[in-house]
Structure 1
Amino acid sequence: MATPQQRRVLVVEDDDTIANAVRLRLVAEGFDVRVASDGEGALAAYAKAEPDVVVLDRLLPGLDGLEVCRRMQAARPVPVLMLTALGEETDVLVGLGVGADDYITKPFSMRELVARIHALLRRVERASLLAHEDAVIRVGDVEIDTAERRVFVRGAEAQLTRTEFDLLRRLAERPGQVFERERLLSDIWGFSEAAATRTVDSHVRALRRKLGPEVVRTVHGVGYALVRP
């Protein structure tokens, strides 16, 4: 049984070698770890264990990781770190679109995996504190309700993931200001590594698909800014 101090992680991975290695490392880090090897088992474990974060393989037998993520988020929103061996940008965007908060490409280091999990948990705690604020940010056609974590574009609600919302909110705090990718990684994901800036790029592309291509401006070689009206 997990102690009150332990955070519970559900690891969904059909490769027994990878799953066991991840489990052992996370247990050593102080997490309470549950493991599932397929989609149906993942959903059952999710409902029973109520994990604080899910490490989810993109490719699974039966229900794939995308469908599993979609069903989990519909039942009870949870931070999801998706494991993928797929390098195509479209696959990454689809994963983010169904509710994954972050992704890491195989092969990965255990050190990076643990850092990403801790970063996800810190973001959830920070979002919980910020939820007590009663403020609406308006930038052009975009309206951000920070208390209810809802976003509207010209009056129509846009369905953003947790990470997309946090990224948009950060950019909206200073419209027009250019944020470096490394700074956004630090502010939103909780770590700053030049090699991981593609994570920011992928989430910005997802934001543009949902809010419109003109909302976020790219400053090549530097980073991104929310466009002033």
Structure 2
Amino acid sequence: MTRVLLVDDDVELSGMLSEYLTQEGFETHAVHDGEAGVAAALSGDYDIAVLDVMMPVLNGVEALRRIRQHSSLPVLMLTARGDDIDRVVGLELGADDYVPKPCTPRELVARLRAILRRMAAPPPAEAQPDALQEGPLTLWPAKRSADWQGEPLALTSTEFSLLEALVREAGHVVSKADLSEKALGRPLARFDRSIDVHVSSIRQKLGPRRDGQSWIQTVRGQGYQFVRE
């Protein structure tokens, strides 16, 4: 049974979401402040965390920052509807996805399952090689691990899925709509900047090519392309 950590200071909402998640087959535990959320997330007892941005004392953004210093636990952020700043900052810090509040329990479950699905169910072995090699990058899809220039490359689950999708089509443009489906497990929403933020984070981790250009290039109006050497 998938173990979900729910971190939200709204006790009533947490109770409702916990009840729904339990009905959907999840094992759910709720805490109601950021400090407790960080401690629980780092305990190793959970498969995924749902983290509200707006909490007193230690908000969700700072809680996520502390979690990412020590763990790659998948994190889904709950953000205020229309609050693009918190949303972008959360993604930059390594959140796997976000859901604007107020959200329906059904939407939350769908987003959680999309994250868990891409982590736990790689394509059949006969459909993918043991490793994907492109320049100094090596990806092992079955293990969801990566090396860059011979050293381990730390990626969130969403970053790995996004980079894998680009590498499989290296030298070709992949649309943001396709990347959203493959990396986020959902259709691209209008004005959704998630893909752009995740690509920016990956670019920073890879650094520039020898010619000073990015390994992942933007093709205006079309999408992104991983550049072959």
The counterpart of 1:160, out of the listed 155, 162, 176, is: 155
TM-score, normalised by the number of residues in structure 2: 0.79
SS at match of 1:63: coil
Q: Residues 17 and 105 of structure 2 are in contact (CA less than 8 Å); yes or no, is this contact kept in structure 1?
A: yes
Change (3 A) 1:216 1:49: closer
Equivalent residue for 1:214? 214
Equivalent residue for 2:83? 87
SS at match of 1:123: helix
Q: Residues 93 and 206 of structure 1 are in contact (CA less than 8 Å); yes or no, is this contact kept in structure 2?
A: no
Gaps of 5+ in 2: 208-212
**What's the CA shift string for 1:184-207, capped at 9, x where partnerless?**
222222222444853222212222
Equivalent residue for 1:224? 224
- Percent identity (aligned): 38
Task: Determine which structure has the larger helix proportion and give its number.
Answer: 1
SS at match of 1:170: helix
Say yes or no: does 1:56 pair with 2:48. no
Instruction: Give the deviation of 1:7 after TM superposition.
Output: 1.4
**What's the CA shift string for 1:3-60, capped at 9, x where partnerless?**
xxx2111110112233233223212222111111102222344456711111011232
Equivalent residue for 2:131? 135
Change (3 A) 1:214 1:45: closer
Q: Residues 11 and 36 of structure 1 are in contact (CA less than 8 Å); yes or no, is this contact kept in structure 2?
A: yes
SS at match of 1:175: coil
TM-score, normalised by the number of residues in structure 1: 0.79
SS at match of 1:224: strand
Match runs of 1:70-219 below 5 Å = 70-85=65-80, 87-89=83-85, 91-126=86-121, 134-139=130-135, 142-146=136-140, 149-152=145-148, 158-195=153-190, 197-212=192-207, 214-219=214-219
Equivalent residue for 2:31? 36
**Which whole-Å CA distance do the structure 2 matches of 1:181 and 1:77 have between them?**
24
**What's the CA shift string for 1:66-93, capped at 9, x where partnerless?**
333344345543211011227335x434
Q: Residues 185 and 197 of structure 1 are in contact (CA less than 8 Å); yes or no, is this contact kept in structure 2?
A: no
**Which whole-Å CA distance do the structure 2 matches of 1:168 and 1:150 have between them?**
10
Q: CA RMSD in A?
A: 3.0
Q: Residues 11 and 55 of structure 1 are in contact (CA less than 8 Å); yes or no, is this contact kept in structure 2?
A: yes
Equivalent residue for 1:3? none
Question: Aligned pairs, how many?
Answer: 219
